[in-house]
Structure 1
């Protein structure tokens, strides 16, 4: 299961945002079902960021969100409000 949370971050806040992103990923990493995560920045729109994580299933992700809500709270105002949980329909590995 893939989770993508997008954020619109003013340049003046980007350094703090990266630090908070590390904290969120560290919190997620300690939760059951976590597989991997990354913080990414758009190459075309530098104010657009994504926190991307992979989970064993949606239930694990939802419980992790609950556990991480306090560390995520400072960034909530920057969130793009849209669905964030996606289930795999087709998965192909690289060579």
Structure 2
């Protein structure tokens, strides 16, 4: 699964935010099921940042979020993410997709 978290960060706060997002990424990367991740900043709008992570499955991602280290080192920064859906299934040729109805 793929998680895309976007952030709107004023330029004056970018130094502190970068330290926070790097710490958040490191905390997530240390969890079981983490596959890869990247921190990025938009080339046209430098106030727009992104953290993308890949996970073995949604359960690994959800367990990572509930771990003590992630709550301590990542959640304060992750809570600044734009309020939008962030978890995506990876669509590969021949794979069955999740049912396309909203979950309760």
The aligned residue for residue 58 of structure 2 is 58
User: What's the TM-score once normalised by structure 2's chain length?
Assistant: 0.79
User: What's the TM-score once normalised by structure 1's chain length?
Assistant: 0.86
Secondary structure, counterpart of 1:22 in structure 2: helix
Secondary structure, counterpart of 1:18 in structure 2: helix
The aligned residue for residue 97 of structure 2 is none
1:22-43 deviation line (CA, Å, top 9, x unaligned): 1111111110000111110011
CA–CA separation in structure 1 for the residues paired with 2:47 and 2:14: 8
Aligned partner (choices 70, 78, 81) of residue 79 of structure 1:
81
The change in CA–CA distance for 1:64 and 1:47 in structure 2 (over 3 A counts) is same
The change in CA–CA distance for 1:76 and 1:38 in structure 2 (over 3 A counts) is closer
User: Is contact 2:27–2:74 with CA below 8 Å preserved after alignment?
Assistant: no
Structure 2 unpaired stretches of 5+: 94-104
The aligned residue for residue 91 of structure 2 is 89
Which structure features the higher share of helix residues? 1
Number of equivalent positions: 91
Could you tell me how far 1:77 is from its partner in structure 2?
A: 5.5
CA–CA separation in structure 1 for the residues paired with 2:30 and 2:79: 25
CA RMSD of aligned residues (A): 1.5
Q: Which is greater in Rg?
A: 2
Could you tell me how far 1:9 is from its partner in structure 2?
A: 0.3
